[in-house]
Amino acid sequence: MISRRTFVTTGISSVILSGLVGCTESTEQPRNESNAGKSTHHDTRENTNDHKHNQEVSGPVDQAEVAMITNESGYHFDPHIVWVSKGGTVTWILESGSHTATSYHPTFDKPRRIPNAAAAWDSGMLTKKGATFERTFEDEGIYDYFCIPHEYRGMVGSVIVGHPKARDQPGLAPSQQSLPKEAQAAIKRLNAQVTQTLENTN
Ligand SMILES: [Cu+2]
């Protein structure tokens, strides 16, 4: 009973810690090769500003989950980047605050940052803790998306599907100047990390 309780407590605190990450920090540190494959979990406190931004992207997986978080450091998709197989599914889960997962697409008065063949999507506003939105990705490519109320705070994420060629991906184009400044910074970081991920595996 005691060990069970300890386990549960640890689980909760790690969830809280994993949220203490500043999406709006523009720290860009080189990837540390020696840390590849090593868990960064225990380093959370020392690296609250950047470790998630440099987190290794692993995949492709058939199903991925992305938490939507509001905390004292800002607004977050966690992880920022997920990588699924062609036909794979991403589930967004509301952990705190109220958020959307909305594709960068002219439907939403935004530049297209998803593959040309792919359809736009919008989760609608998730407001209840534990609420989910799911989407299956049939077309290989890079998909950038944002949270409607928090895009201006840099709440932007990216989905990699399959093994796309980096060339000709709208989702890897330089950020459009029309987007909010913090979204532009987030897209720049995402582009770098997605490109790195594809280079490591192709
Ligand atoms: Cu949001």
For residue 21, how far is its CA from the centre of ligand 1 (angstroms)? 14
Name residues of the chain where pLDDT drops below 50.
1-22, 25-51
The structural architecture, per CATH, of the domain 57-201 is Sandwich (2.60)
For residue 67, how far is its CA from the centre of ligand 1 (angstroms)? 11
pLDDT at residue 201, as a whole number: 80
For residue 189, how far is its CA from the centre of ligand 1 (angstroms)? 18
For residue 58, how far is its CA from the centre of ligand 1 (angstroms)? 24
Rounded to an integer, what distance in angstroms lies between the CA atom of residue 154 and that of residue 185?
7
Convert the pLDDT of each residue in 83-113 to its tens digit.
999 999 999 999 999 999 999 999 999 999 9
pLDDT at residue 180, as a whole number: 98
Structure tokens belonging to residue 32: 């540390």
The angle formed by the CA atoms of residues 38, 90 and 92, to the nearest 5 degrees, is 90
Q: Tell me the DSSP string of 156-167.
A: EEEEEESS--ST
pLDDT at residue 90, as a whole number: 98
pLDDT at residue 168, as a whole number: 85
Rounded to an integer, what distance in angstroms lies between the CA atom of residue 76 and that of residue 80?
8
pLDDT at residue 2, as a whole number: 43
Convert the pLDDT of each residue in 62-74 to its tens digit.
999 999 999 999 9
